[in-house]
Structure 1
């Protein structure tokens, strides 16, 4: 085993590859182990008193369920054969009373189980969501959003059947087996031995079918996730537009049909396997009573047993075989559910590649000095499994032996300093590494080599939340939640006053537009809300960043979607608002370049020039070529 790869003293976690690199359905079948059971039981502990009450109710129910078969013995032997009409009425009434009590206990049991079970599902879903929020940006660039949503929805909902149904079913069946066995021994030990003689035959087919059922369950969940991801992409607004433009509707329908047919095939195979198991077990369930009637009938003929006793034993056998049959199938269900638990735990076991040290330094305030020193960085490529981990959890120790491939370096030996309050423009052709620099400043990724500091603190020594609290960012792709305008703005500062919001929107030249919307600041925007143009979305994003009032502002082509008039107004506002604030601006407009204190020129991941606009234009370098190519025509017109 090789040594763990580290970045700045922190282990780089490659546990993601277990999910992204192979079909889990073709891997080894997860077994029911003590460690896995303990992990699942951890979600039961907060509700242990509710479950104790549920189990107590189940135990009382199991005991009362034996009363009516025992009353049947006396009803036949004493009331009917003894021709005692009064006793007959009393016994019949008692049987009705027992049925009523059992019904009420069932309502109480299922109510308590539903509340406790749903609370557990809430805990699992919340833990998974909070864990995914802590995952590094690479996790989201390596996975499809439909797959992530599928795990939170479909997989957790599949566990719900185990939490609210299977657990109570196991407890009920175990209590029923114990209570029924006691009643059978009380009536006739000999007939009890006959009844339990075929019990081992219930479990042999269950064990065989269980392995098949579990693998089919895992494949089914993966097929559902795949189909959901496909639908999420193709039925998204952008996906629909691309499909129509390219005329690929029939082709996509064919792909969807193939995935749907695979899901149908898996469901049918699961159903067939389950029915074969049920058929085999049902045959053994009928064979037991037949043996009891045969042997018991001989005992009645010889006068060793009464007819009521044989009938009572036969009735109790239903109470014995039914829970035994269900226990056998429950074992299969638990095995199948392990595949679902494994998918959930697989996400929970993933460690974010970028995470805080245990002794991370808080950063309540910052001056805004940023320094890159010999920074090399390459985006990780999709990784391949170096070995089969047989379902073991991925930790930093378990990451040994993985050899992930890396893309070509996006940044190579980049070094520069941004003084507090300095406005720096990043210039260069597409793919030069400009956006990568803006991703490293808020520590979405860690550099492979070199250091990045803020006010002299290595970013890896700072708390991520504190670091990002001081950074505002406007990215190339503006994202708005499906919520009102004011809710989207307050996402950056939940306690923002209306005056602060209006000031930010005025500075971003978007207030007047918002005021003319049907419901003003309460107008719902986002994917299914009021349609905004690219420029309008960009200005809302700028207003949101300004509302946060960060010490460091990152503008990634922030004015790329604005018309000339709007850009001019935004530029005037930014000149005032950026004063005294550290700013990193990816610039494609002349006004932005001219207003920068410093310009960093990037080419193929290297920093090739640094200086002011006037100085770089005079040099015979890349900036002069870019300036002439992009801005020369504008200067000629002026």
Structure 2
């Protein structure tokens, strides 16, 4: 996965691989709508055919200007009018079919990309910014919509007009057509040479746009931190720098494309003027009728217009090909954490026995620094253990490994005796409830945020969970109670309120394994006491793993696991560990409240 447009080696490799042929990757999305594609192609062929017939009608009109019988001229005019009506209807039909097809396919692509990305493990997001993923889902799919809904149909129509027009030019006047064909190499050469450069610039431009989106997304999601540290000026400068790079890339792409358009159109129309001059002399000499010359001129203009349109659309197709490649990169991205081909079902009811067997683990972003080192841990069903230790000891890594957000480099982790890697993640994760250190609150109502824990829960069950988490009182005090919209990432709530909603969510899930990662860190003493009571009640009937520093949380655990540098250095009850006088006693003196541990 490529993150930066300035990543030289990756850019070179990708530019070599990127051709308009990449648009073939869209076929799986077009295939379900074959009938719609066929109808659009028929409408497109109809309009192109009618367009090619029109000059013949014009020729008859011109050659019959001097006819004595005015009725013949009227018939030709009526025929031309009928052809024009047919052209209008066909064009409208083509637009409706092709535009609908484009919208449908792009909607499917967006869903497919989101479906793929939402299931990727956290390791995937270590290599790509969320804003860049969003850019691909929005900006890149918009480009594809433009191509499917417009550019491809226009390109095919102009291709038909080019081929058909060239053939009819040959039938109209082989001599003049031969002269026109001599000009073709002059037009093709700049399209091919400048088109290669345009492909590279198009892809680079899309990368810079994605980079700009990623930069903005990161800053806006952390806007309070940015403002708290008066980092606005630096953030503006960083975004401006990336945006200017994007503009500079776009400017070079536009300049190249404009130059290609100028050269092609000038060469084409210069050739047409020369051919017209020769044709006009043939009319004067009587070797060609005026109507034939007019017919040839119309076909020449149509062919020239088709070439000019194709040269312009070529650039659009190249940009869309680049966008398609970027989306296909996401659809084909290999996740480091995969479900087995034949997953083992987790036996129900789940007892909640968890075991780490000689686990070795390092985060993909820092493979040389072990997060867990020869880690062995057995948690009995229904046992409550607390993980303590200094920052970086590996406590949160244990929580993440139990959820199989990452796979160990060595060893294995089991739930009820079955390795996590042998089960489908969605299967065993249903039996886990998590309260993270940084609670995630969604941009919806307080009720729906709690119901996120179990989507089929009733309103009464949601409110019971909120009461157990000491969240009911503050929620009912909100303007619309449980139906109050809490804002993006819960901006309308305090840190403690967010934490209590996250705890209510875990209580509602009612899973046999409860994971608490600093779950009470943002609570005041009164709320903590209420939540602690709820946690203790839950812990009696399920396996509970707590990462905490507060003495009140840790003291009541069945067993305290002391970690340092990814290893277990001591374990036991609070009293036994304090009596040992090791790392736990030192941490207790430094971190725990009221000086009790001292």
If the length of structure 2 is used for normalisation, what is the TM-score? 0.95
Correspondence 1:554-593 to 2 at 5 A: 554-593=515-554
Cα offset, 1:143, TM superposition:
2.8
Correspondence 1:148-547 to 2 at 5 A: 148-236=133-221, 238-239=222-223, 241-363=224-346, 365=348, 366-381=350-365, 406-527=367-488, 531-547=492-508
**Residues 636 and 50 from structure 1, CA distance in 2 versus in 1: closer, same or farther, beyond 3 angstroms?**
closer
Q: For the Cα contact (< 8 Å) 1:215–1:336, is it kept in 2?
A: no
1:52 aligns with 2:13: no
Larger mean CA deviation between 149-158 and 473-482 belongs to 149-158
Cα offset, 1:153, TM superposition:
0.9
Q: How many residues align?
A: 596
Give the Cα separation in 2 of the matches to 1:209 and 1:106: 32
Give the Cα separation in 1 of the matches to 2:193 and 2:547: 62
Q: For the Cα contact (< 8 Å) 2:562–2:569, is it kept in 1?
A: yes
Counterpart of 1:603 in structure 2 is: 564
Larger mean CA deviation between 171-180 and 605-614 belongs to 171-180
Aligned to 1:373, the other structure's residue is in SS state strand
Counterpart of 2:50 in structure 1 is: 64
Give the Cα separation in 1 of the matches to 2:524 and 2:274: 89
Q: For the Cα contact (< 8 Å) 2:346–2:427, is it kept in 1?
A: yes
Counterpart of 2:586 in structure 1 is: 625
Give the Cα separation in 1 of the matches to 2:229 and 2:480: 37
Residues 125-167 of structure 1, C-alpha deviation per residue, up to 9 Å, x if partnerless? 1111111112111122343221121111111212222221222
**Residues 93 and 125 from structure 1, CA distance in 2 versus in 1: closer, same or farther, beyond 3 angstroms?**
same
Cα offset, 1:17, TM superposition:
6.6
Residues 434-483 of structure 1, C-alpha deviation per residue, up to 9 Å, x if partnerless? 11100100111111111111111111111111111100100111111100
Give the Cα separation in 2 of the matches to 1:434 and 1:418: 15
In structure 1, the gaps of 5 or more residues are 1-15, 382-404
Cα offset, 1:170, TM superposition:
2.4
Aligned to 2:412, the other structure's residue is in SS state strand
Counterpart of 1:39 in structure 2 is: 25
Aligned to 2:133, the other structure's residue is in SS state helix
Cα offset, 1:620, TM superposition:
2.7
Larger mean CA deviation between 267-276 and 580-589 belongs to 267-276
Counterpart of 1:388 in structure 2 is: none
In structure 2, the gaps of 5 or more residues are none
Cα offset, 1:208, TM superposition:
1.0
Cα offset, 1:54, TM superposition:
0.9
RMSD of aligned residue pairs (Cα, Å): 2.2
1:139 aligns with 2:124: yes
Give the Cα separation in 1 of the matches to 2:156 and 2:138: 27
**Residues 306 and 631 from structure 1, CA distance in 2 versus in 1: closer, same or farther, beyond 3 angstroms?**
closer
Give the Cα separation in 1 of the matches to 2:457 and 2:216: 38
RCO (CA 8 Å, sep 6+): is it higher in 1 or 2?
1
Aligned to 2:370, the other structure's residue is in SS state coil
Counterpart of 1:77 in structure 2 is: 63
If the length of structure 1 is used for normalisation, what is the TM-score? 0.89
Cα offset, 1:583, TM superposition:
0.4
Counterpart of 1:106 in structure 2 is: 91
Give the Cα separation in 1 of the matches to 2:518 and 2:593: 20
**Which residue of 106, 112, 125 maps to 1:121?**
106
Cα offset, 1:630, TM superposition:
3.2
Aligned to 2:314, the other structure's residue is in SS state helix
Cα offset, 1:269, TM superposition:
1.8
Q: For the Cα contact (< 8 Å) 2:23–2:324, is it kept in 1?
A: no
Residues 241-279 of structure 1, C-alpha deviation per residue, up to 9 Å, x if partnerless? 333333333333333332232222222222221121111
Cα offset, 1:84, TM superposition:
4.0
Q: For the Cα contact (< 8 Å) 1:20–1:143, is it kept in 2?
A: no
Residues 70-92 of structure 1, C-alpha deviation per residue, up to 9 Å, x if partnerless? 122221222x1335433333323
Residues 582-635 of structure 1, C-alpha deviation per residue, up to 9 Å, x if partnerless? 000012122222211111000121100111222222213211222233347443
Give the Cα separation in 2 of the matches to 1:505 and 1:18: 41
Residues 41-93 of structure 1, C-alpha deviation per residue, up to 9 Å, x if partnerless? 22221111111111111111111112331122221222x13354333333233
